[in-house]
Amino acid sequence: FRQADTMKSLRLLLAALAVVTAVLADHHAHDDVDKLVEGINRITYQIFEFEHKLDARLDPARIRRAGSLEARVEALEEPSCAEHQHQCGGDDPQCISSLFVCDGRVDCRNGEDEKHCSLPTNPGDTFVGDVVFDHCTKRRPQHITLQVESVSTAKFFPAFPKVHVHLEISSDNDFEHAEASLPGDGYYSFADDELVIYPPEEDGLAFHGDFDGHNFDRFVGDIIHTASDEACARFIFHRK
Amino acid sequence: MWYVLLLIGLAAAASDPYKERRTQYLLTSQRLHVEQLERDLHALEDAFGKLSPDVDPKKVRQIKARVSNLEGPHCPEHQGQCGGDVPQCINDLLFCDGHEDCRNGRDENPEVCSLAPTHVGSSYTGVATWTSCEESEPHNAVVTITASERKSFFPARVWVRAVLAFEDDEHSHHVRTFPLRGYYNFGRRALVLGPELGTKPLYGVRCYFNLGDDDHADCKIVAPASLSICAHFSANRY
């Protein structure tokens, strides 16, 4: 009986020891795993931070803003290409005919003429213009809304998509409130980043929308006497 | 007796000496992986750090201001530009008068109506290059605001007193000073100074704060009557 008792207590002790060892070993490993997870979390955080820094330099909005400033300086400089020619730009200046820009064939040595060929005025786009000065329009509006109705691109001549727009004008004078919606046809020129609308009325006033080539949410819209090519009213348009 | 054997076996399995070392081995190798990744990342960050740093936004503002100066004034005389995206001109008497006159309200913008250029004690200094009036080599010129007053019924101008001082000669360190009085025009961002009452009308100063901030100005020393330019200096505030 005594021996059996001793054996029993020994067995119990052994079992307890086994459990303790197992628990101890597990506990040990657990700590190490926690440390490992902590290390992985730290490096993940650092990677995200680094990525954030990289993204800040590559921010497209920033590149666009810098491009707009560059375009302003270019506008101040002498035009580097003859009329009806397009500057390929970049580090490798080259002039090509405006008809070759976005025609589906690379004509610039650096390929710039086929790189920026997405149309900024798509069907359904609306731009609202605020008046800067106005010496010629009939209604002297404070705002003009330009609505792009449809666009068609000729397969054999994609450089100048045809654009159909509506110019919504609401004007107030002392006597009446008038609204007009003038349908107009024209084209978009990728070479000059320009939207040209032929005179919608009989008064010979055409519309030129001039994008700066970088920011396509804003353009300067001039009302132009077709005979003299002189701007007599200006509106600054913003994409709505 | 079989269960004794079983228990011993269990205990042996539980205290398997290789199990722990296996776990340790796995953990160590994973830790090494993580450390290697960290080293790679630091190498990348070092390479990135060697690239030229970001441009100071102040510098960008100055360049933008210089470009718009070249683009020229859009407004006729006695008018100020409302700024923002849609250009508009209003009379410079309407700037900072407590009533919004620009469509975008910019004529009452705190940045436009900043009083920093008229703070008493502000000094604007630069190397003045004389083109007439004085036969002197380029020397430092300083304009210091000594007093300023803004009438509550006419807040569009700040009336100031100032002192113009410039070195006559490098060796003798002889400095000539001229008391001046004038005003600051918010719309044109111009500090206009003429001779103080009762002093000899020798020099006046016109400074245009058209470089994008309140700390840099394009200053000219002029003859007070004809406004013909005697000297020119790019002024920094300090």
Question: Rounded to an integer, what distance in angstroms lies between the CA atom of residue B228 and that of residue A108?
Answer: 51
For residue B210, give the nearest of B232, B188, B184 by alpha carbon.
Answer: B188
Residues A23-49 have a mean pLDDT of: 81
Distance from CA of A157 to the nearest CA of B (A): 35
Is A225 within a domain? yes
For residue A185, give the nearest of A167, A211, A203, A158 by alpha carbon.
Answer: A167
Contacts by residues B190-196 (CB-CB < 8 Å, ≥ 24 positions apart): B191/B117, B191/B118, B191/B143, B191/B160, B191/B217, B193/B143, B193/B160, B193/B162, B193/B164, B194/B224, B195/B224, B196/B161
Question: Rounded to an integer, what distance in angstroms lies between the CA atom of residue A188 and that of residue A195?
Answer: 4
Is A100 within a domain? no
Identify the closest residue of chain A to B43 by CA–CA distance: A50
Cβ-Cβ contacts under 8 Å, B22 against chain A:
none
Helix boundaries (H) for chain A: 2-58, 60-76
Residue B13 pLDDT: 61
What's the pLDDT tens digit per position in A57-111?
A: 999 999 999 999 999 998 899 888 998 999 988 788 899 999 999 988 899 998 8
Token representation of residue A131: 């008046």
Residues B98-104 have a mean pLDDT of: 88
Domain housing A21:
1-58
Q: What's the distance, CA A195 to chain centroid?
A: 18
* CATH number reported for the structural domain that contains residue A144 in this entry: 2.40.128.620
Residue B172 pLDDT: 74
What CATH architecture is B67-113?
Irregular (4.10)
In the predicted model, is pLDDT for residue B145 greater than 70?
A: yes
Residue type, B132: S
What CATH architecture is B114-237?
Beta Barrel (2.40)
Question: Rounded to an integer, what distance in angstroms lies between the CA atom of residue B231 and that of residue B48?
Answer: 46
Picking from A16, A37, A58, the residue at the C-terminal end of a domain is A58
In the predicted model, is pLDDT for residue A209 greater than 70?
A: yes
Sequence ranges of chain B with CATH classification 2.40.128.620: 114-237
Length of chain B measured in residues: 238
Residue B2 pLDDT: 63
Is A107 within a domain? no
Q: Pick from A9, A34, A50, A55 the residue to mutate for testing the B interface (most B CBs within 10 Å).
A: A50
- Among candidates B11, B19, B86 on the partner chain, residue whose Cβ is nearest the Cβ of A15: B11
Is A47 within a domain? yes
Sequence ranges of chain B with CATH classification 4.10.400.10: 67-113
Under an 8 A CB cutoff, do B11 and A73 touch?
no
Distances (CA, A) of A41 to A28, A141, B2, B28, B33: 20, 60, 49, 17, 13
Cβ-Cβ contacts under 8 Å, A14 against chain B:
7-8, 11
Question: Rounded to an integer, what distance in angstroms lies between the CA atom of residue A143 and that of residue B89?
Answer: 17
Mean pLDDT of all residues belonging to chain B: 88
Percent of chain B's residues with pLDDT above 90: 46
Specify the number of domains making up chain A.
2
Is A106 within a domain? no
Under an 8 A CB cutoff, do A29 and B20 touch?
yes
Tell me which DSSP letter residue B132 carries: S
For residue A149, give the nearest of A118, A125, A117 by alpha carbon.
Answer: A125
For residue A173, give the nearest of A143, A140, A201, A145 by alpha carbon.
Answer: A140
Is A171 within a domain? yes
Is A82 within a domain? no
Residues B124-134 have a mean pLDDT of: 90
pTM greater than 0.80 (yes/no): no
